[in-house]
């Protein structure tokens, strides 16, 4: 209900535009890759269902009340200060914390699942464009990099940054876990001028520098 209350408050107070944080989770396990915004959503978790519902609310407020709305489907966001103990934390924050402590991480499944990791400053860029660009209202945009890496390779990269020698442990795959996730960002590029500027290597280096200083 939180998003609905925000939209209603915006309508009643004459707010010009609302940008909503949606998620790539709305695509579910659709085998098409990369994922483009025209794919039919197939949410496989309560979280994904709520994100898709919020997109519907945004569309309705745009059509019924003229409130400009923009939905951004974030792929896997990472960066400094992400809390590895939070239930909403991403795998990179967990890996960073483990590598800084020279501890072994737990990977669910075989680790061959792929993810499109987007650095937080590129997500900020997307949000500013969504808030200001004249082409943005009424659209849903993917926010990713159009590059992916599998989870096993990700741990190897993070472990190397921390000179961590531990091998990852594995557990059964979690129900509803997506095998392949890769963003098609052409729509955001063509309509908004969105261009991610942080490659995974540089983003990981900047992120690990923070975890190295702040992990106890």
Distance of CA 15 to CAs 51, 71, 87, 154, Å?
22, 16, 32, 41
Query: What CA–CA distances, in Å, run from 101 to 85, 163, 209?
Result: 14, 10, 13
Integer angstrom CA distances of residue 25 from 133, 155, 182, 199, 206: 25, 22, 11, 22, 26
* Alpha carbons 141 and 139: distance in angstroms, whole number: 6
- CA dist 30 → 65, 184, 211 (Å): 33, 14, 34
Which residue in 27, 47, 78, 211 is the catalytic one? 47
Reply yes or no on whether 47 is catalytic.
yes
Contact 71, 20 (CB under 8 A): yes
Contact between 43 and 49 under an 8 Å Cβ cutoff? The reply is: yes
Q: Which active-site residues does the annotation give?
A: 47
């Amino acid at each position: 209900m939180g998003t609905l209350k925000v939209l209603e408050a915006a309508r009643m107070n004459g707010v010009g535009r609302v940008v909503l944080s949606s998620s790539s989770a709305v695509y579910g396990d659709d085998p098409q890759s990369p994922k483009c915004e025209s794919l039919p959503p197939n949410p496989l978790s309560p979280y994904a269902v709520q994100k898709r519902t919020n997109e519907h609310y945004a569309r309705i407020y745009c059509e019924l009340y003229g409130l400009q709305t923009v939905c951004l489907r974030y792929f896997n966001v990472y960066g400094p200060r992400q809390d590895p103990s939070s239930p909403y934390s991403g795998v990179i924050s967990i890996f960073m914390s483990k590598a800084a402590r020279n501890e072994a991480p737990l990977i669910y499944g075989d680790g061959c699942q792929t993810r499109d990791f987007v650095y937080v400053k590129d997500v900020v860029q997307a949000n500013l464009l969504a808030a200001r660009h004249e082409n943005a209202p009424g659209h849903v945009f993917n926010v990713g990099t159009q590059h992916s890496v599998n989870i096993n390779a990700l741990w190897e990269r993070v472990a190397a940054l921390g000179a961590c020698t531990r091998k990852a442990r594995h557990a059964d795959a979690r129900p509803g876990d997506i095998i392949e996730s890769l963003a098609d960002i052409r729509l955001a590029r063509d309509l908004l001028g969105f261009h991610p500027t942080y490659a995974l290597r540089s983003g990981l280096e900047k992120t690990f520098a923070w975890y190295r200083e702040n992990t106890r």
